Amino acid sequence: MQKYNFLDDYSEGCHPNILNKLIETNLIQQNAYGFDEYSNKAKQLIKNKLSNKESEIFFVTGGTQANLIIISSILRSHEAIISIDIGHILGREAGAIEATGHKIISVPSLNGKLDINKIQVALDNHNIIPHMVKPKLVYISNASEIGTIYTKKELQEISNFCKRKNLYLFIDGARLAAALTSTYNDLTLNDLSKLSDIFTLGATKNGALFGEAIIINNSTLAEDFNINIKQKGALLAKGRTIGIQFLELFRDDLYFKLAKRANNLALIISNEFVKKGYKLLDTTQTNQIFLILPNILIEQLEKKFSFYIWKKYDEKHSIIRIVTSWISNEDKIQELINSI
């Protein structure tokens, strides 16, 4: 690949600390299946950030895997999920959730976020019993698919609503680090442990080779969860390989530092485009920049850089997505800015 790539936040390997720790611990014998000392320590580091004493932590390799295990483990056969129309589980996971037997109820959203009015519509549309599935789990992503984030007030409102309506709240945190280090953010991991039944903490997109932590805050949902992990083929024999990654990412808050860097770089790019008069699809809150650009400019940028053309905007414009990461090259970013 000749062109520099702003396609995503997983085009490189991992933070060097992780590789160093893999080397350092390589020949030390450990218990298999996640019962190793590194996994235990990593879980403790994460737990230290949560005051919810019920929270239990499990590690798996990826986001789709986490989503499908969580949902199939906790829902009964007739229970369904509420998600916005561009939710990752709806459009980018090859039917992973339906393959476990559950319907996802789609709700339109413009800003990538769900709110209680939208959830209420989904409930109202599913009240002909027994001819309809029963909505039981609310799925949101923070950061969202288009990089926007939830405020504490917004999340509190959804959380209260879910409790009132007897719905589970699950937050997909594939890019949670980006959300929690956004300049617009006022949420903490501890808040999430109190406001949600389950959330995930993605590492693949923030400096790990792979890895997703599943935090179950509602202890009844944690029962036998590890059997479900095994059943879906997600239990690594050498669980240490994930444990070590989270250990390094949560030692000295490296996890948040890496995400903060990605966010800052995104803001620099975003601001430069805006200065030059180009429009954003939405405010750049995390490490994804959605720009409405003339097709002519896009073609020109594509000569030097790779990025994702999100969709057509009008005859002469398209929306593109530029993603920065913990390892984005600052020289290349400068080169991009100079190319506008």
Binders of a second copy among 169-228, rule CB under 8 A?
204-205, 209-210, 224, 226-228
Q: How far apart are CA 105 and CA 138, in angstroms?
A: 10
Size of the site for a second copy (CB under 8 A): 79
Q: Which of 46, 178, 198, 234 binds a second copy (CB under 8 A)?
A: 234
**Amino acid (one-letter) located at 149:** I
Least distance between a second copy and beta carbon 49 (Å): 25
Strands 279-280 and 288-294, sheet pairing:
antiparallel
Question: Given the complex with a second copy, which of 220 and 277 has the nearer CB atom?
Answer: 220
The one-character DSSP state at 278 is: P
Q: How far is the CB of 159 from a second copy (least distance, A)?
A: 24
CB of 259: closest distance to a second copy in angstroms? 16
- Closest distance to a second copy from the beta carbon of 336 (Å): 14
Helix/strand/coil (H/E/C) assignment for every residue in 115-176:
CHHHHHHHHHCCCCCCCCCEEEEEEEECCCCCCCCCCHHHHHHHHHHHHHHCCEEEEECCCH
User: Should residue 241 be labelled a site residue for a second copy when binding is judged by CB under 8 A?
Assistant: yes
Report residue 30 CA to chain centroid gap.
Answer: 30
Q: Report the residue number, 73 or 148, with the smaller CB distance to a second copy.
A: 73
CA distance linking residue 65 with residue 229, whole number of Å = 9
Query: How many alpha carbons lie under 13 Å from residue 311 in its C-beta half-sphere?
Result: 3
Task: Please give the residues from 126 up to 145 whose contact with a second copy meets the rule CB under 8 A.
Answer: 128-134
Query: What is the rounded CA–CA span in Å between residue 301 and residue 6?
Result: 11
Q: Does position 327 bind a second copy by CB under 8 A?
A: yes
Q: What is the 3-state secondary structure (H, E, C) of 254-267?
A: HHHHHHHHHHHHHH
Cβ of residue 24: shortest distance to a second copy, in angstroms? 10
Residues 264-323 that bind a second copy (CB under 8 A): none
When binding is defined by CB under 8 A, the residue of 44, 101, 111, 127 that contacts a second copy is 101
SS3 233: coil
> Which residues inside 53-72 make contact with a second copy, applying CB under 8 A?
60-62, 64-69, 72
Q: Would you say 30 or 190 has its CB closer to a second copy?
A: 30
Binding mask 6-45 for a second copy (x = CB under 8 A): -xx-xxxxx-x--x--xx-xxxxxxxxx------------
Residue whose C-alpha is closest to residue 43's, from 202, 258, 256, 250 = 250
Tell me, what DSSP letter sits at residue 25? H
We find the least distance from the C-beta atom of residue 95 to a second copy, in angstroms, to be: 4
| Binding region for a second copy (CB under 8 A) out of 99-107, 113-121, 179-187, 248-256 | 99-107
Q: Which stretch binds a second copy (CB under 8 A): 5-13, 43-51, 277-285, 297-305?
A: 5-13
